[in-house]
Structure 1
Amino acid sequence: MGKGGMSRGNSEEEEENMAAWLLGVNNLKIQPFKLPPLGPHDARIRMKAVGICGSDVHYLKEMKLADFVVKEPMVIGHECAGIIEEVGAEVKNLVPGDRVAVEPGISCWRCNLCKEGRYNLCTEMKFFATPPVHGSLANQIVHPADLCFKLPDNVTLEEGAMCEPLSVGVHACRRANIGPETNVLVMGAGPIGLVTLLAARAFGSPRIVIVDVDDYRLSVAKELGADEAVKVSTDMKDVAAEIEQIKKAMGDGVDVSFDCAGFNKTMTTALGATSSGGKVCLVGMGHSIMTVPLTPAAVREIDVIGIFRYKNTWPLCIEFLRSGKIDVKPLITHRYGFSQKEVEEAFETSAHGGKTIKVMFNL
């Protein structure tokens, strides 16, 4: 045991740690990334699987997302899993060689929200690739060991990286109390809509209807177990007719709707389609300001529930994957290595959409 705790050889002295840096609009470069020193409660992790999230693409295209602005070069990426290379002197739960899924947000653990367990709402949160915090698309990173979750032998590193998007669906289902008596409507069949569908089924929902504008994504949703898929338009004038279509597809009342797109139209549809006394969860963040018919929904006692990231979800996500209750593998549609050319191609593929669901780097 050296000063830094347990380590696997001295390979780190020989190789330079490289990462994908966001330097400007549409400008990603693989450049050296100097790691911080390993603290007593930290782990140094060799990244093996990193997924691309819509927010990563947003930063690349616009250098900002909501109120977060990229003001200086930043390492991108936050959906990740890897292998422990070294642990700090106080780390008891991990050893070098362990395969781990990584939760990307470090909260302060001192504020009232953290103390109440709602650490996802911590105002001091340091979250991978949310400016100015560096992300995880790198050869190696240093991260608190308590945010590294050991993967069972039958769960791959790619599946481990998928715990991050899956966590959003799991957190939404917990907030909405999904169970065997909850009929669920999912608005949007993008990556988050699809993981919300998988989570709702794992939580016991007996009937799930999914809605999207894209035929291909709806066909994927059906393959993943949606009971019915309803194709809609982007035209606000169609809302009333589409609500009727959704109700017919459900055949029974909609108890909970998850809006995984977050637009005026999707939220208006969700509020109208949900049964009196039901819940609408806003998961997607398409529009930051919406105009929606809240009063008619309030008169029917519809609860509107906000969703922001997740909390304490990794153990449950890993258990769902281990037990086979959730299979995220079909969501990974494209794979790339970690070279300059492949990083650029991967982000273009992800931004292009179409038949792309989840783009994954194998490092």
Structure 2
Amino acid sequence: MGEENLAAVLHAAEDLRLEKWPLPEPKENEVLVRMARVGICGSDVHFLKHGRIGDFVVKKPMVIGHESSGVVVRCGKAVTSLKPGDKVALEPGVPCRHCSYCKEGIYNVCPKVSFFACPPTSGTMARYFCHPEDFCFKLPDNVSLEEGALLEPLAVGVHSCRRGGVGLGSKVLVIGAGPIGLVTLLTAKAMGAATVILTDVVEQRLEVAKKIGADGTLLTGKLNEEEIVKQIWNLFGGDGPDVALDCSGTEPGQRLAFLAPKPRGVAVMVGVGPPEIKAPLLSACLREVDIKTIFRYCNDYPAALAMLASGKVNVKQLITHNYKLEEALQAFQTARSGVGNPIKIMVHCSQ
């Protein structure tokens, strides 16, 4: 290949460096991928700022990035479904495949899952990366590498809507209009939701939501909780939504997910919030609201890819900034500063 494996390596909080990383060699069930596009996620920025997320602590240098796509350049001897030249999206979480959770098909909660850019596992913001064949998804000709990288956040939207039971005719509230809230909006509409309304404390985010298909929005920054719930019910015609998905990862957002659904509705905790919150549990109990949680995704990449290939979902409209791998430090500065109102920042690891 004749090319160094340049990578964006996180050494500790506030210590992200561009440096040469060892060139990987594929095992018999793996493919070597020349990375093409890697999106920057909020969790990447959190690791950069704090050096940890909960119990996951950066203790040694780690390549960052987990929303990724690339082109296969070499295959291990046992690989049968992929060949050099195939465009692929990489699902970041690889489980043990042997525990009871894996055998039951809920591999996202496998206790031994290895996830890109989640210590101690390195991520994909590099020139080259090796990954198991069965967690690489071949992209059809009409799905771009940019779209392939965005399969990862889209899979979160798919998993969230599936957990919430979103379907034909559903009335859906999405709390938080950041990248995950926006892909959840796109997913809910693709799954047949009749009405999807988004809330946020930032007007600019809600303007984006309107442009990509939201049926209504509510700016909540200056309203108290009781007023917010009342206005949400008014927006849904006097009744609460069937499903409320908190994509904000904040205590106010999670409380709203408990309070907003109609009786026998569903509240889904999507965003990663504080370890403990003060929740209006009695209110939810009196309306028999089902409370569900999500952790990443599981068996959702195929559905997400089908949404892209069919044209039912357009994620390209979420990409606001593009940087070369050599500009990764600048890309992360844009992500953390918010200058230019970034939604999804894409790093081009190769042309």
Given the two structures, how large is their TM-score scaled by the length of structure 1? Answer: 0.94
8 A Cα contact 2:63 2:123, kept in partner: yes
The equivalent of 1:243 in structure 2 is 229
The equivalent of 1:352 in structure 2 is 337
Alpha-carbon deviation of 1:234? 7.0
The equivalent of 2:305 in structure 1 is 318
The equivalent of 1:147 in structure 2 is 135
Show the 5 A alignment for 1:140-289.
Answer: 140-233=128-221, 238-251=224-237, 252-289=239-276
8 A Cα contact 1:228 1:250, kept in partner: no
2:264 aligned with 1:298:
no
After superposition, what is the alpha-carbon deviation per residue over 1:237-283, rounded to whole angstroms, capped at 9, x for unaligned?
x0001111111112143100000012221122221111010000000
The equivalent of 2:14 in structure 1 is 26
Which SS does the other structure have where 2:78 is aligned?
Answer: coil
The CA distance in 2 between the partners of 1:194 and 1:110, in whole Å, is 35
AA at the equivalent of 2:187: A
The CA distance in 1 between the partners of 2:184 and 2:18, in whole Å, is 33
AA at the equivalent of 2:332: F
Distance 1:164 1:337, change over 3 A: same
Runs of 4+ in 1 over 4 A off after TM superposition: none
After superposition, what is the alpha-carbon deviation per residue over 1:42-97, rounded to whole angstroms, capped at 9, x for unaligned?
00000000000000000001000122111111110000000000011111110000
Given the two structures, how large is their TM-score scaled by the length of structure 2? Answer: 0.97
Alpha-carbon deviation of 1:36? 4.0
Tell me the matched-pair count.
347
The equivalent of 2:112 in structure 1 is 124
The equivalent of 2:85 in structure 1 is 97
The CA distance in 2 between the partners of 1:234 and 1:116, in whole Å, is 46
The two structures, once aligned, show a CA RMSD in angstroms of 1.1
The CA distance in 1 between the partners of 2:222 and 2:78, in whole Å, is 54
Show the 5 A alignment for 1:75-94.
Answer: 75-94=63-82
The CA distance in 2 between the partners of 1:234 and 1:361, in whole Å, is 36
The CA distance in 1 between the partners of 2:122 and 2:128, in whole Å, is 12
AA at the equivalent of 1:145: E
Give the gaps of 5 or more residues in structure 1: 1-10
The CA distance in 2 between the partners of 1:94 and 1:158, in whole Å, is 20
